[in-house]
Amino acid sequence: MLRKGLLAPIRANRPSHSSKAIRQRKTSTNRTLTALSTLSPSSAAPFAVAVSGVEKAFGPTRALAGADLAVRPGEVVALMGANGAGKSTLVKIISGSLAPDAGTITLGGRTVSFASPREAKAAGVATVHQATDQAGAGGLTVAENLLLDEFCGRGPLFVSGRSIRKRAAAIAAALDLDLPLDRDFIDLRPAERQLIAIARAVAAKASVLILDEPTSSLSTAEAERLFTIIRRLAASGMAILYISHRLGDLAAIADRAVVLRGGVIVGEFAQPIDFPAAVTAMIGRRLEAAAHSGEASTAPSILSIRNARLVPGARPFDLDLRSGEVVAITGTLGSGKSRLLRVLFGLTQLDQGTVTLDGAPWLSSGPAASIAGGVFMVAEDRWASSLLPPETPGASIAGTIALPHLPRWFPSGILDTMRERAVGNDAIRRLGIKAKNADDTLDQLSGGNQQKVVLARWQAAPCRLLLLDEPFQGVDVGARADLITAIRNSQSASATLIATSDTEEALEVADRILVMRDHSLFAADDGHGSLTAAIGSVETAETRTQP
């Protein structure tokens, strides 16, 4: 399917429920559900789920300050909001894993109060949480994880390896997923984890389905497949609350968009949804198109890869990155994007081929050598790759940013926490990270803000080559634009290689786009192409992978 640029008017190819234009509200403290329902007079059915006046504070931080929201059966509601707006908190409250400080939740008209996720599940609320590290349990196989809800709920008492495999295969088949059923969950890549989380939630046959950024590491093809499922579920009468920072996703499936800001609902948009206005409501300012030349660079080459084969049997490819260039690699799940980045960072080796960095052969023995040599990488799974448990010293924003730079900053070995804090506070200011100060631990941050900290870590020192693997996961559109500007401004003497499964994102950030397929790179443009050419190239590549 065709996915447009960020600011292009987007319309879903479905009949709209309402022809009303935008309705914006400034506050919702005394908003009632009846008022909400006036938005969509065409359907008078009771809400499948409704929350009203929900409040939640974490210490001095008010994550929710009286939020109201309602979803009808068969309706897909997009919940939009900047990073830290309170979306995930609301999700956690509805799904029973957080207790609200105030407010009520009704399910099918009945007031409920969940003491645990178990109760919420039993009442028919299925949830895909934002954090992929909570999508399943290590030590169990993929098959067992697919059945985790059955085990933890009221599935059959007796199990065997065979029955588990059979039932899990059925769940995977229902969603047309091809998952390595016997592999340990711990060995999965984030995208696969995300698919498992989705499969589990869909298999739960709930009346309310909540998806908190379910596509953040999925590529267009997988996301598209998810949308098909969502439409089918909605058609069967399920109420769906969908959270994403990918506007394309929302455009594809949302019947209605609700914007959360500062813990309250500040706007509602019915079909046709005016996304630019929604984004303005969300981030409090208009979003300007990120301007970049897209012109062929004549700067000296920083990285050049020759005759490289990622895995045995793959087609060899070449790649050149010039100083100041931002290149994006996109492609389907498992096509090898991460692998290429991992090779450059020294985590695995090329099957064949040569890599030169600044004219010298580049063969890193591991992250330590890479970092010393000026090659930085933001790994794709922030939970596994960057976050420390909160009680660990150095789990704060300042500590997280400082970790790779400790040897350079403190050659004597003695820490200077003031310096760390200064860098942390600078990052908070620069990237608009929503946190009290640099001493906050990352578990207190919203998903997008965690990701910003991870990005800030690698901007804290100059580098030659910056490798970003799914860098904008969960980052809101406003912040993404800021980040891209920051990357462009600060990295003028270095090259940036971004692996992203989101084509829209690639179009937005990159000077050049390359497509990876079957562990090989295909140029989307040959040095003088335009963005449109790039899109075309991406599309042909994608259609080619799905014969």
Ligand X SMILES: Nc1ncnc2c1ncn2[C@@H]1O[C@H](COP(=O)(O)OP(=O)(O)OP(=O)(O)O)[C@@H](O)[C@H]1O
Among 22-30, 47-55, 275-283, 332-340, the segment contacting ligand X (CB under 6 A): 332-340
CB 434 → ligand X: shortest distance, Å? 5
Give the nearer residue to Mg ion in terms of CB position, either 53 or 447.
Answer: 447
- Does 219 participate in binding Mg ion (rule CB under 5 A)? no
Contact 106, 63 (CB under 8 A): no
Give the nearer residue to other proteins in terms of CB position, either 243 or 510.
Answer: 243
Residue 444 binding: pick among other proteins, Mg ion, ligand X, none (C-beta 5-8 Å cut-off by kind): ligand X
CB 270 → other proteins: shortest distance, Å? 25
Residue 124 binding: pick among other proteins, ligand X, Mg ion, none (C-beta 5-8 Å cut-off by kind): none
CB 371 → other proteins: shortest distance, Å? 4
Show the site string, 351-380: x = touches Mg ion by CB under 5 A, - = not: -----------------------------x
Give the nearer residue to Mg ion in terms of CB position, either 125 or 191.
Answer: 191
- Does 88 participate in binding Mg ion (rule CB under 5 A)? yes
- The beta-carbon contacts of 169-178 under 8 Å, at least 24 apart in sequence, are 169/143, 171/146, 171/147, 171/199, 171/200, 171/203, 172/146, 172/199, 174/202, 174/203, 175/199, 175/202, 175/225, 175/229, 176/225
Give the nearer residue to Mg ion in terms of CB position, either 79 or 460.
Answer: 79
Residue 336 binding: pick among ligand X, Mg ion, other proteins, none (C-beta 5-8 Å cut-off by kind): ligand X
Number of chain residues interacting with ligand X (CB under 6 A)? 37
Contact 201, 211 (CB under 8 A): yes
CB 451 → other proteins: shortest distance, Å? 14
- Does 370 participate in binding ligand X (rule CB under 6 A)? no
| Number of neighbouring beta carbons within 10 Å of residue 389 | 9
Rounded alpha-carbon distances, angstroms, from residue 161 to 27, 153, 180, 536: 53, 19, 15, 46
- Does 480 participate in binding ligand X (rule CB under 6 A)? no
Contact 63, 57 (CB under 8 A): yes
281, 286, 289, 290: CA torsion to nearest 10: -90
CB 359 → other proteins: shortest distance, Å? 23
Beta strands, E only, 72-124? 76-81, 102-107, 110-112
Give the nearer residue to other proteins in terms of CB position, either 47 or 376.
Answer: 376
Residue with tokens 């009221």: 154
Residue 348 binding: pick among other proteins, Mg ion, ligand X, none (C-beta 5-8 Å cut-off by kind): other proteins
Member of 95, 271, 501, 537 binding ligand X (CB under 6 A): 501
Up-side HSE of residue 212: CA atoms within 13 Å toward CB?
23
- Does 474 participate in binding ligand X (rule CB under 6 A)? yes
CA 125 to chain centre: 22
Closest CA to 337 of 76, 150, 201, 516: 516
How do 110-112 and 125-128 pair as beta strands? unpaired
* Footprint of Mg ion on 124-153 (CB under 5 A): 130
3-state secondary structure of 64: strand
CB 59 → other proteins: shortest distance, Å? 8
Give the nearer residue to ligand X in terms of CB position, either 5 or 334.
Answer: 334
DSSP 524: S
- For 245-256, letters b (16+ CB in 10 Å) and e give bbbbbbbbbbbb
Give the nearer residue to Mg ion in terms of CB position, either 255 or 470.
Answer: 470
Residue 280 binding: pick among Mg ion, other proteins, ligand X, none (C-beta 5-8 Å cut-off by kind): none
Site of interaction with Mg ion (CB under 5 A): 87-88, 130, 338, 380, 446-447
